[in-house]
Structure 1
């Protein structure tokens, strides 16, 4: 009996395969981690949207501080105290913005009557064209449409919207005051504020934080200044063309072109379409066609000549990335999100590039080899 037990081979035990060490388990674990990250990101974005009265002024202040910090640093290098340099830069910027708003208000007030009469005449021509066109439309249908519009503007629904608009104006004023306060401290103590956030870090993490603190403002400031230069050239060119053609509201339309250039791909185009519509109402289709030609020519010169030169030192993003960023920003925060989405995407990509690469933020040209005397000075002298 013992010999029979000795002859039977004992089965070899193979290690049990759990649910996590096979390929399907690994994929399930990674999928769960990705879903957890997406859920956490959604919660964070939802919280930021709820605090938009604070978050949006902070983001705009960071962008403006990155663009204006070279002016403050230049004044400080000339011996001016930090407080005086900050106040000078901030007050000059506010004065320039106020002057532009004042010019827009006066231009609209002086040309509003002319534009209103031209718009009325244009609407009458459009009504005659619709009634005499290939599609038979009765005059009573047009009158009913006008009556519906009048009823909407005199209804309680429009009054409720007006009250909501008053609340938006109050939030806008509060956000503007908060923006100016935050911008002042960012211009004055931006480096100290970032150093304070890096205090708990040490070693490689602190070095990474310093890389981010030097790379992000440089990329963001270069992007904003380059976009502002391109937008200014577009506004001057299109505004000059509108003024020569005697299109009403040429100055406000030029300012809209300047602001629209900060929304890539679609901003300047929409502003040009609005200028063409004003020209169509005021002077007819021929002048409107000339305005469209001017807008197209300026956009082509900007994209093929001006933007590659001005934005050469800034971070470049693929148009598909810009489109995704614009869509996401518009969904999350509307028109403000569309303006802030592309700069934030550019800064995020620059941070990703220098996250684990200490040399990415200070790459030297490969054609210039290192100088040998710098190495020879480190060698100890022989006694």
Structure 2
């Protein structure tokens, strides 16, 4: 009886709230009014997102090192946790992990720079000659494609790549050596504090979240860090496998510049879908010039086989479902990230999109099988 009375009271209160208090309220209670209200909310949300992106682009010298430090911290933080579980003091575990990561990154980056820089001129020359031969082959091929159409398409690509929108990248603020050093130092400092005080920083930020949403935010943060860590570790493993397999094929075929090409394939592996493929095409162009069309076709076949191996075996096994995004979403994120932030934006776009999807999924109660079926307290029927 008490429950029935309570339901009646809640229903009457709900109906009284829906009843227009005046003629002005009635203007917004019909279908057009509700549509206008929702449209205004969407416009305000888009305006806030636009302002946020603009501010981040203006502060890219701070934002980019911060994001890179966060992603690296997510990747190596499990090492800190394991060392602490083994009884290591927290400062020692953090310092050892931090210094080890710096040594590995420094060695890899230095090796890549010297490998590419020592033969960069020859690499560009070989790729240019390969593109010229490819143009001649397409022009002679029995297809309705003229040399003028090829030149027009190439000019369009060059115009886009040299346009102001393509040059407006996240690296533009790091063009000078001083800014590069500043960004690297800031990234290292922020990375150390993320490893050392990541839990305390997150707990401090959660204090500003309403108590009723704090549990979901805690869960969203934990899953976001898991996604970031799994993505970086998995991508590095997949990129290394791509570089080793294709690099070995180049060495067996005695294609010159095999080491710089393998390095470029490894770097391209951090740009999903298109990065490793473009680097593989570059390797095929070099093989076309140096060893002829047969070697180029073999390299293309190896690149296709590696891409199939990556998509059907390596990524599901190594990365699992850490980045459960559709390929179309990944391509759109890559396009947006490249336009806004250049190469760095393209590399950071997918993990940022994955983290955003994790947060939306947790906050909305969505699961991979559909909306979560958590018990919801019934109040009144509206």
The one of 215, 223, 227 equivalent to 1:215 is: 223
Higher relative contact order (Cα pairs below 8 Å, separated by 6+ residues): 2
The Cα shift of 1:168 comes to 3.6
Q: Give the distance between the partners of 2:43 and 2:124, measured in 1 at CA.
A: 55
**Structure-2 residue corresponding to 1:26:** 34
The Cα offsets for residues 173-219 of structure 1, whole Å up to 9 and x where unpaired, read as 22111111111111111111111112234532322232122111012
Q: Does the 8 A contact of 1:104 with 1:251 survive in 2?
A: no
Q: Does the 8 A contact of 1:208 with 1:356 survive in 2?
A: no
Q: Give the distance between the partners of 1:116 and 1:265, measured in 2 at CA.
A: 23
The Cα offsets for residues 93-112 of structure 1, whole Å up to 9 and x where unpaired, read as 22223333443455456656
Q: Give the distance between the partners of 1:94 and 1:190, measured in 2 at CA.
A: 18
Distance 1:225 1:19, change over 3 A: same
**Alignment TM-score, normalising by the size of structure 2:** 0.74
Distance 1:308 1:335, change over 3 A: same
Q: Give the distance between the partners of 2:122 and 2:59, measured in 1 at CA.
A: 43
The one of 219, 238, 249 equivalent to 1:230 is: 238
Larger Rg computed on CA atoms: 1
SS of alignment partner, residue 271 of structure 2: coil
Superposition map of 1:343-382 within 5 A: 343-357=351-365
Superposition map of 1:180-259 within 5 A: 180-201=188-209, 203-259=211-267
Q: Does the 8 A contact of 1:86 with 1:188 survive in 2?
A: yes
The Cα shift of 1:304 comes to 1.4
- Structure 2 residue 346 is the aligned partner of structure 1 residue 320: no
**Structure-1 residue corresponding to 2:70:** 62
Superposition map of 1:34-45 within 5 A: 34-45=42-53
Distance 1:332 1:133, change over 3 A: closer
Q: Which runs of 5+ in 2 are unaligned?
A: 1-21, 149-171, 369-382
Q: Give the distance between the partners of 1:116 and 1:340, measured in 2 at CA.
A: 27
The Cα shift of 1:298 comes to 0.7
Q: Does the 8 A contact of 1:247 with 1:279 survive in 2?
A: yes
SS of alignment partner, residue 27 of structure 2: coil
Q: Does the 8 A contact of 1:115 with 1:282 survive in 2?
A: no
Q: Give the distance between the partners of 2:267 and 2:120, measured in 1 at CA.
A: 21
**Structure-1 residue corresponding to 2:317:** 309
Computed over aligned residues only, the root mean square deviation of the Cα atoms, in angstroms, reads 3.3
- Structure 2 residue 311 is the aligned partner of structure 1 residue 289: no
- Structure 2 residue 86 is the aligned partner of structure 1 residue 78: yes
- Structure 2 residue 74 is the aligned partner of structure 1 residue 92: no
**Structure-1 residue corresponding to 2:186:** 178
**Structure-2 residue corresponding to 1:51:** 59
Q: Does the 8 A contact of 1:277 with 1:288 survive in 2?
A: yes
The Cα offsets for residues 136-173 of structure 1, whole Å up to 9 and x where unpaired, read as 99xxxxxxxxxxxxxxxxxxxxxxxxxx8994433222
The Cα offsets for residues 210-245 of structure 1, whole Å up to 9 and x where unpaired, read as 212211101211122122221121111111111222
Q: Give the distance between the partners of 1:29 and 1:215, measured in 2 at CA.
A: 34
Superposition map of 1:264-279 within 5 A: 264-279=272-287
Q: Does the 8 A contact of 2:220 with 2:362 survive in 1?
A: yes
The one of 324, 344, 347 equivalent to 1:339 is: 347
